Amino acid sequence: RSAGDTDHYEIVQTAVRAEILPGLTTELWTYNGSFPGPTIHSTRGRTVRIRHVNRLPVPTVVHLHGGRTPAADDGYPIDFVHPLDMAQHVGHHMGGDVSHGERTYTYPLDQRAATLWYHDHRMDFTGPSVWRGLAGFHLHHDDEEAALGLPAGVPLMIADRSFDRDGSLLYPARAGGHGVTGDYVAGVLGDVMLVNGVPWPTHPVGRGTYRFRLLNAANARRLSVRLDPPPPTGLVRIGTDGGLLAAPIRHDHLELAPAQRFDILVDFSAYAPGTVVTMVNDFDIGAMGQIMRFVVGDERLAPFAVPDRLSTVTPPRASDAVVTRRFDFRTGEIAGHDGWLVGQQPFHPDVIAAHVKLGTVEIWQLNADFHHPVHLHLSPFQVLGRGSGGPGPYDAGWQDTIDLRPGEQAKILVHFDGYPGKYVFHCHNLEHEDMAMMANFVAT
Ligand code: C2O
Ligand code: CU
Ligand code: CU
């Protein structure tokens, strides 16, 4: 629904039973009955208001990942929407901005075109909620993007899951199962690869150029994506978390940590009709080394020439930074057992790790003891460098999530702008996040 300069959506969070594995029934927690949830489209200059009704048995919190959103609508982890059915009311009052049964989130979306996504963000419970299906795409558009006349984008939400014999989702996944360490130190990994909720799907394609918006929506699994056989023109990356790059970058493979998005163009016109092109994941072997297949048909699509320039990206300079802060993402002891920390601190809503000024630029040095995909709310950043070197091969452009490798020290240049209030930054390995690897910054 549209009225004036606002677009209205209504989403019911509801449990449904669906057939994901052939012949079996899986209970999912969904937005409007589907996994992924409905794709929301928005345009710069128009506000989006989304009314969420919670018909699930648990409290929820909705976060628009990548959105430049006022704090009250950002999905702070204790701003619970309790179930409409109050008999199922769980959880105690933690001081958040709690609502009962429903909540309307308002997104001004004064930001550049980008592949955003929305997902559950409840404190200590994001992993299980997203695993059960609470995730969807939000595609934001603007004039700069429209002027390029890009092929229609096909969103591909890649996520692993695991299932019990009766078809129900297993969370955590079976201990000792494929790639799962006993204590989930790497997070919860599944043994079925889903693309848009379908295991290892096959998509027919014509001979021409397609735009894919890749999202790694896995709880914990990192991906190294490649096409086999490879397209002669490579995987042409045109965008990243924060929208279009200044110019396209050609890759033979793409590494995506959880929550990262890559916007790519693939030209299938050089393949002979009938060719089966497999999207593989080089970080694994066997079934989990495969993601999906494309079957090239006879149909010829109108040729598309990839533009040399895509968008205007004016990165801040390191010399603009008003302060440098350091955050260590590490394991450490909390109350006698090992936990996931930012610095010395497990997440607590009242502990503020940084006070930042809107309109300023800061350097954040992020150190990791293990793989930690670190995500900042509200504030896009550019990667200044990793270790003693410059940015990595996937670091160009505006990001909201950086893939930190074990032992790595990265420097990012963060642009704080937008709205005052308290926001989180955290590891987007959802099990690490749920085990308190999250902290607050307050913007004024
Ligand atoms: Cu994708 Cu704080 O989340
Ligand atoms: Cu986010
Ligand atoms: Cu982590």
pLDDT digits (tens, 9 = 90+) for 16-59: 999 999 999 999 999 999 999 999 999 999 999 999 999 999 99
Please report which ligand is nearest the Cα atom of 184: 3
User: Is the Cβ atom of 430 under 6 angstroms away from ligand 1?
Assistant: no
Instruction: Kindly state whether residues 169 and 137 are assigned to the same domain.
Output: no
> What's the gap in Å between 231 CA and the centre of ligand 1?
33
Q: Give the Cα-Cα-Cα angle 281, 305, 256 (nearest 5 degrees).
A: 20
Q: How many domains does the chain have?
A: 3
What are the φ/ψ torsions at residue 288 (nearest 5 degrees)?
Answer: -80, -5
Instruction: Kindly state whether residues 271 and 165 are assigned to the same domain.
Output: yes
Q: Of 143, 170, 194, which residue sits at a domain end?
A: 143
Would you state the structure tokens that stand for residue 151, as one six-digit string? 């092929």
Q: Three-state SS for 106?
A: strand
> What's the gap in Å between 120 CA and the centre of ligand 1?
8
User: Is the Cβ atom of 432 under 6 angstroms away from ligand 1?
Assistant: no
Cis status of the peptide bond prior to 36, with omega within 30 of 0: yes
User: Is the Cβ atom of 426 under 6 angstroms away from ligand 1?
Assistant: yes
Please report which ligand is nearest the Cα atom of 400: 2
Note the pLDDT of residue 125: 96
Sorted by sequence, the CB contacts under 8 Å of residue 307 that are 6+ apart come out as: 148, 248
Query: What does pLDDT average to in each consecutive run of 10 residues of the chain (444 residues)?
Result: 85 98 98 98 97 97 98 97 74 79 97 98 97 98 97 96 96 56 75 98 98 98 98 97 98 98 97 98 97 97 95 93 97 80 93 98 97 97 96 97 97 97 98 95 98
Cis status of the peptide bond prior to 172, with omega within 30 of 0: yes
User: Is the Cβ atom of 293 under 6 angstroms away from ligand 1?
Assistant: no
Instruction: Kindly state whether residues 135 and 6 are assigned to the same domain.
Output: yes
The ipTM assigned to this model is 0.96
Instruction: Kindly state whether residues 271 and 161 are assigned to the same domain.
Output: yes
**Unique residue bearing structure tokens 């970080």:** 283
Would you state the structure tokens that stand for residue 272, as one six-digit string? 């002979």
**Unique residue bearing structure tokens 């052939």:** 22
Instruction: Kindly state whether residues 208 and 115 are assigned to the same domain.
Output: no
CATH code for the domain of 294 = 2.60.40.420
Q: What is the rounded distance in angstroms from the CA atom of residue 182 to the CA atom of residue 88?
A: 32
Amino acid at 171: Y
CB within 5 A of ion ligand 3: which residues?
Answer: 372, 427, 429, 432
Please report which ligand is nearest the Cα atom of 64: 2
Ligand 1: which atom is nearest the Cα of residue 119?
Answer: 1
> What's the gap in Å between 121 CA and the centre of ligand 2?
9
Indicate whether 310 belongs to any domain.
no
Q: Of 271, 300, 329, which residue sits at a domain end?
A: 300
User: Is the Cβ atom of 65 under 6 angstroms away from ligand 1?
Assistant: yes
> What's the gap in Å between 198 CA and the centre of ligand 3?
27
> What's the gap in Å between 143 CA and the centre of ligand 1?
27
How does 236-269 read in b/e, with b if 16+ C-beta sit within 10 Å? Answer: bbbbbbbbbbeebbebebbbbbbbbbbbbbbbbb
Q: Which domain holds residue 227?
A: 153-300
Instruction: Kindly state whether residues 23 and 130 are assigned to the same domain.
Output: yes
Q: Where are the beta strands (DSSP E) in 217-260?
A: 223-228, 235-240, 243-251, 254-256
Please report which ligand is nearest the Cα atom of 373: 3
Of all protein residues, the one whose alpha carbon is nearest to atom 1 of ligand 1 is: 65
Q: What is the rounded distance in angstroms from the CA atom of residue 178 to the CA atom of residue 190?
A: 7
Closest CA to 226 of 291, 323, 129, 301: 291
Closest CA to 424 of 115, 121, 113: 121
Indicate whether 329 belongs to any domain.
yes
User: Is the Cβ atom of 213 under 6 angstroms away from ligand 1?
Assistant: no
Instruction: Kindly state whether residues 113 and 194 are assigned to the same domain.
Output: no
Sorted by sequence, the CB contacts under 8 Å of residue 357 that are 6+ apart come out as: 322, 416, 443, 444
User: Is the Cβ atom of 63 under 6 angstroms away from ligand 1?
Assistant: yes
Indicate whether 6 belongs to any domain.
yes
pLDDT in tens, 83-121: 998 755 555 567 899 999 999 999 999 999 999 999 999
Indicate whether 196 belongs to any domain.
yes
Instruction: Kindly state whether residues 157 and 295 are assigned to the same domain.
Output: yes
Instruction: Kindly state whether residues 122 and 175 are assigned to the same domain.
Output: no
User: Is the Cβ atom of 122 under 6 angstroms away from ligand 1?
Assistant: no
